[in-house]
Structure 1
Amino acid sequence: MKLYHFPLSGHAHRAALFLSLAGVDHEIVPVDLAAGAHKQPEFLALNAFGEVPVLDDNGIIIADSLAILVYVARKVGPSHWLPVDPVAEAEVQRWLAVAAGKIAYGACAARLVTVFAAPFRPEEVIERAHATLAVIERVLADRRWIAGTTQPTIADVALYSYIERAPEGNVDLSGYPRVLAWLRQIEQLPGFIPFARTPAGLEA
C-alpha cells in the first residue's frame, strides 16, 4: 500500500496512525502541499478534491481519511478495530461522523487558523471545539474507549489527531482529565506514531 501524506495534516496522520497500529505494510508518499502538488493533474487523478490522504492499494484508490480507516479495518479482517456486531458498529460509525463534523469544524478548524491561517472565526471554532470536548469528557466517564468497546476501534483513531493537537488551535485541554487519559491510552498502543507538532496557539 502507498499512503499519500502531508505531515501536518491530521487527516493524513489518522490514516498513517491506523496503518501502523494495524501492522499493515505501507509506503509513505509525501505530498508537498506548499508547492501545490495536490493540485497537479497526477494527484487530482487520485483525488479530484485535491486533498490528502489518499491510499493506493495496488491500484485500488481510497480517497478520504475515514474511508481509509474503514477500508483498512475490513482489509485486515475481523478485528476489534471495526466490530461486526450491529450495535457496536453503529456506535463506531456515530463517532466517525463526529470526526467528520464536530471535530472538523471545531478543534480541526481552530488549528487551521493558527497553523495555516485559515479564514475561520477563532472564537466560534474554539467554542465549538470545547462543546464537543465536553460531550466526549462526559461519555468517557463510564467507558475506556470512545465507542464503549473493550478494545480500541477506528473511532478512537479518527478522533485522536485533532484532539491531541487541539492546543495548537488555542483549545485548552486541561479541563478534560478523562480526554487526556484517553489520549495517553492511545499513545501506549503498539505501533503508535505521534502527530507532528508545531509551535502554534497554546504551544507557541
Structure 2
Amino acid sequence: MKLYDLELSGNCYKVRLFAALTQIPLTVTPVDMVGGEHKRAPLIDLNPWGQVPVLDDGDVVLRDSHAILIYLASKFGKTDWWPTDALGQANIAQWLSTSANEVQNGPGAARLVDKFGYALDKADALRRADRILPLIDAHLSAHDWLANGRPTIADCAVMPYVALSHEGGVDLAPYPNIRAWVERIKALPGFIGMPAI
C-alpha cells in the first residue's frame, strides 16, 4: 500500500500516525506540492481533487484522510480503533465530522493562513476555534479519549490540527484537558510526530 504524503499536512499525518500506532505497513511517498506534482499524472489521475493524502492499495484508491482511516482499520481488523457495532462507529463518526468541519475550518484554517499564506478569513477561523476548543476541552474533562473510552481513529483524526493550533496563532494554554489528551496520545506505543508536534 502506498500513501502519497506531504510531511506538513495534518491530514496526511492522521494516516501516518494511525498506521504507526497499529503497525500497519505503508510505503510513504512524498509529494512535491510546491512543484505541482499533485496536479499532474499519476496523482491527478488517482485523485482529481488534486489533494493529499491518497492511498493506493491496488484496485482501491482513496483520497480522504478519514475514509483512509476507516479503510485501514477495517481492512486490518483494528476493531479497537474502529469497532463493528453501530453505536461504537457512530461515536467515532461524530468526531470525524467535527474534525472535517469545526477543527478544519477553525484552528486548521488559521494555520493555513499563518503558516502557508492561504487567502482565508483568519478572523472567522479564530472565531470557530474559540467555539470548538472549549467544547472539546469540556468533553475531555470527563473522558480520557474522544470516543468509546479508549484510543480510536477519532483521536487520530482530531488531534493533529488541534495540536498544531499554535501555528495559526491559537493558544492551547486555556485548555488543560486538550493538552493532557495530546500528551496521552504522544505516550501511546508506536507514536510518531510531525514537525511542530
| Range of TM-score over shorter length | over 0.9
Paired residues of 1:78 and 1:84 also in contact (CA < 8 A): no
- Are 2:29 and 1:29 equivalent residues in the alignment? yes
Q: Which secondary structure state, in structure 2, belongs to the residue aligned with residue 106 of structure 1?
A: helix
2:177 corresponding residue in structure 1: 178
For residues 169 and 28 of structure 1, the distance between their equivalents in structure 2, rounded to whole angstroms, comes to 27
Write out per-residue CA displacement over residues 16-53 of structure 1, whole angstroms, 9 at most, x where no aligned residue.
11111110111110000000000013111110100000
Cα offset for 1:78?
4.6
**1:81-160 matches, cutoff 5 A:** 81-147=81-147, 149-160=148-159
TM-score, L = length of structure 1:
0.93
Instruction: Pick closer, same or farther for the CA change 1:197–1:78 going to 2, 3 Å.
Output: closer
Alignment partner, residue 45 of structure 2: 45
1: distance between equivalents of 2:144 and 2:82?
16
- Name stretches of at least 5 consecutive residues in structure 2 with no aligned partner: none
CA distance in 1, matches of 2:155, 2:78: 17
Q: How many residues align?
A: 197
**Is the contact between residue 106 and residue 126 of structure 1 (CA under 8 Å) also seen in structure 2?**
yes
* Aligned CA-pair RMSD: 1.2
- Unmatched 5+ residue regions in structure 1? 199-204
Deviations 1:46-69 (A, max 9, x none): 101000001111342111101000
Runs of 4+ in 1 over 3 A off after TM superposition: none
Letter in 2 for 1:38: H
State how 1:50-65 maps to structure 2 within 5 Å. 50-65=50-65
- 1:93 maps to a residue whose letter is A
The residue type equivalent to 1:104 in the other structure is Q
Letter in 2 for 1:160: M
Given residue 16 of structure 2, which amino acid in structure 1 is its aligned partner? A
CA shift digits 1:87-106 (9 cap, x unpaired):
22111000000011111110
The percentage of aligned residue pairs carrying the same residue is 39
SS of the counterpart of 1:56? strand
Q: TM-score, normalised by structure 2?
A: 0.96
- Tell me if structure 2 keeps the 8 A contact 1:38–1:51: yes
